[in-house]
Amino acid sequence: MIEIASGARTEPSTRKNRARAAAGVALALILALVALWSAQRLLSTDLLSQEVAAQIQRATGLSTKIEGRTEFRFLLRPRLIIRDVRVADASGAIRVDAPEVIGYLRLLPLLVGRFEIGQAVLYHPKFYARLDRAPAGPGGDIQQAANAATDDFRRLQAPLGTMDIVDGQLRLATKKLASDIAIDAIDMRASWPRLGASANFAGRLTYRDAAVRFQGWLEQPLEILRGGDSASVFQLRSDLLTFWTSGHLSGGPKVEYSGSISATAPSLRTFAETIGYSFSKHGTFADLALSCDVDVAAGNATFTNLTLRLDGNDYQGNLEIQNVTHSPQISGTLASDFLDVTPFLTGVREPAVSGGLWSRKPLDLPQLDLANLDLRVSATRLRLYDLEVHDAALSLLAKPGMIDLSLAEATANNGAIRGRFALTEKDHVFDLRVSGSGGGIDLQPMVFEGERPLTGSLDASIRLESSGQDVYALMQGLSGVAAFSASNGSFNGVDLIQTLAHANGRKAGEKLDTVPGATSYDHLTLNLALAQGVAAISDSQISGPNLQLGLAGTIDMGRRQLDILSLAEIGESAGKTTHTTPARFELKGPWSAPRFFVGPANLVLPKSTPQKDTLPATTMSPPPAQE
């Protein structure tokens, strides 16, 4: 009974206390609202501008100037409206111009008379940055917190907030570029609630008419400012490129990064040209897919466990880029089970033009403005048009003004081949050097002028050089040597025995009608000495069933003309005896459609020297050093 009575007596007292507390809170809120309303009415624009500028400068360490009005609005959501804000560092490396900024205030600090912006919205801001200048300034609260002890809990809990950018612009300038890098239509939100918390950002922008979406996350951004590292994730999506990376980002004098990346692009050329890099006009360079581990430190980058797909070709290997930001030097090794080079040559200008002459248009390789490249590629199978090479080991060296491609070894059409191609440029004049050799090569799959004119097994060796501004000049200037030896094959398209049989009793210079068919041979040798684009034929013979002939004359590489002389012996078997008939002929005209003519009666070929068992060596000295 006492407890019940006691409870009855205390219940009205508790209710009264609660009512008083509620009334006190309500009165406090009313007084605060009145004070805020009064502040909205009484605070001067200059005073507000000075306070806001001081807060920004304390937080960032950057010089802040407010040239427009600053207004305090309380209704709906307390906020400051700031117009014409300029923030910059002392060196001019960073500058932000914002026509309008709305700073949304935290309510509790506001109730005790302190302005504390929890969210800032920048409308149509313009950001300027000079990449070749280091920011200078005394450092603000953020930098001071970065320099403080890592266990300073009070500083780690210091509130920051959220920043929104609406329709912003970014201009990046550097002495290396004639014009600024322009990024437009930036809409994004960045959130860093406290110094000791993680940060994230997401948004979209436009770069050279390409729409890009991006987002990222930093686990410990404060550690990056302290020179330490933080886990990070970044993703970029557009019609040109999809890119994702996850790893650890380190701060300090030089930024370092270690992690993994993946990227896909419908066209590598389109992406490269969009971001301002020159790219080969030849080839498709389509369907890029890349994934690897990456380490970036001291201006260098290494890509390991690389898996690359481009133009339907798959590669695995490692790459390294030294001096990434200045003069990149790329080196590495790649391996592929199957490499089709044909797509890389799509769009290459035909070397010959209508009329059967070489093109005189300047080579579209102006100044060979190439990156420094040292690349080794091995391919189990390598295809170029109809030619397929197995077990190829390629070496590609390139630098401004020079490209050097070597095939150390490979098997092609059941034979072994090797070769080297070097091209240098100075003052728009190209120097060309080509060498190569091969043995046991099946001729049947090889195409010449759109046809397959030969079969047999070929051994060959060439060593050529030239210079000029276009294909015609290069062919006109060819000099060097070439030797070919083939066996057990045939010429397709002409029956040489039947064609020469019609020469009997004909006058010199008369045209011989070509008899379609094929001509078999047991052995063929062709030795050429080239000077100023004209190849002189010497020590050359063809032997086969019922046919023996020697060859002399010239092949004009510049004009694509043949002027070949031949003395032949045609054999006819009658029982156990063989009767031979001499024949002389000339093969003249464009090499795409030459004609046979009866040779002069006094035709004498130069004496042949004994044939060597081996072909000429094809060693070639390195291209001259670029001045």
DSSP character string of 100-123: EEEEEEPHHHHHTT---EEEEEEE
Task: Please tell me the least confidently modeled range out of 59-63, 421-425, 436-440, 603-607.
Answer: 603-607
pLDDT at res. 541: 92
Q: What tokens appear for 586 in the block?
A: 């000339």
Task: Please check whether residue 405 is in contact with residue 420, taking contact to mean a CB–CB distance below 8 angstroms.
Answer: yes
pLDDT at res. 457: 93
227-237 burial by CB neighbour count: b if 16+ within 10 A, else e?
A: ebbbebebebe
pLDDT higher than threshold 50 for residue 8:
no
pLDDT at res. 20: 59
pLDDT higher than threshold 60 for residue 5:
no
pLDDT at res. 347: 52
pLDDT at res. 190: 95
Residues 57 and 351: their CA atoms lie apart, in Å, by 65
pLDDT higher than threshold 50 for residue 554:
yes
Q: Is 485 exposed, middle or buried (0-12, 13-18, 19+ CB in 10 A)?
A: buried
Q: Percent of the chain, pLDDT > 90?
A: 35
Residues 142 and 155: their CA atoms lie apart, in Å, by 9
pLDDT at res. 180: 85
Task: Please tell me the least confidently modeled range out of 5-9, 296-300, 503-507.
Answer: 5-9
Task: Please check whether residue 258 is in contact with residue 295, taking contact to mean a CB–CB distance below 8 angstroms.
Answer: yes
pLDDT at res. 557: 92
pLDDT at res. 302: 95
pLDDT bracket for residue 156 (50, 70, 90): low
The average confidence (pLDDT) of the chain is: 81
Higher-scoring residue by pLDDT: 338, 259? 259
pLDDT higher than threshold 80 for residue 472:
yes
Q: What is the pTM of this model?
A: 0.73
pLDDT higher than threshold 70 for residue 501:
yes
pLDDT at res. 79: 85
Render 1-62 in DSSP notation, one character per residue.
Answer: -HHHHHHHHHHHHHHHHHHHHHHHHHHHHHHHHHHHHHHHHHS-HHHHHHHHHHHHHHHH--
Task: Please tell me the least confidently modeled range out of 54-63, 167-176, 499-508, 537-546.
Answer: 54-63
pLDDT bracket for residue 620 (50, 70, 90): very low
Q: What tokens appear for 571 in the block?
A: 């054999």
Q: What is the mean pLDDT of residues 566-591?
A: 81
pLDDT at res. 3: 32
Higher-scoring residue by pLDDT: 103, 23? 103
State how beta strands 117-123 and 159-173 pair: parallel
pLDDT higher than threshold 60 for residue 37:
no
Q: What is the mean pLDDT of residues 304-326?
A: 87
Helix or strand run (H / E) with residue 286:
strand 286-297
pLDDT at res. 15: 59
pLDDT at res. 144: 65
pLDDT at res. 169: 96
Higher-scoring residue by pLDDT: 266, 33? 266
Q: What is the mean pLDDT of residues 165-183?
A: 88
CA distances from 214 to 162, 202, 244, 269, 273 (A): 17, 6, 10, 22, 20
Higher-scoring residue by pLDDT: 337, 464? 464
Residues 458 and 312: their CA atoms lie apart, in Å, by 32
pLDDT bracket for residue 423 (50, 70, 90): confident
Backbone φ, ψ for residue 143 (5° rounding): -65, -40
Task: Please check whether residue 90 is in contact with residue 130, taking contact to mean a CB–CB distance below 8 angstroms.
Answer: no
Our separate counts of H helices and E strands in the chain read 9, 33
| Cα 621 from chain centroid (whole Å) | 30
Q: What is the mean pLDDT of residues 424-441?
A: 90
pLDDT bracket for residue 200 (50, 70, 90): very high
pLDDT in tens, 322-379: 877 667 788 999 998 888 776 665 555 566 555 667 888 877 654 455 567 888 989 8
pLDDT bracket for residue 27 (50, 70, 90): low
pLDDT bracket for residue 450 (50, 70, 90): low
pLDDT bracket for residue 281 (50, 70, 90): low
pLDDT at res. 103: 87
User: Residue ranges per domain, the chain?
Assistant: 45-197, 413-598
Q: What is the mean pLDDT of residues 598-619?
A: 60
pLDDT bracket for residue 155 (50, 70, 90): low
pLDDT bracket for residue 385 (50, 70, 90): low
pLDDT bracket for residue 45 (50, 70, 90): low
pLDDT higher than threshold 60 for residue 485:
yes
Residues 390 and 461: their CA atoms lie apart, in Å, by 19
3-class DSSP string for 23-35: HHHHHHHHHHHHH
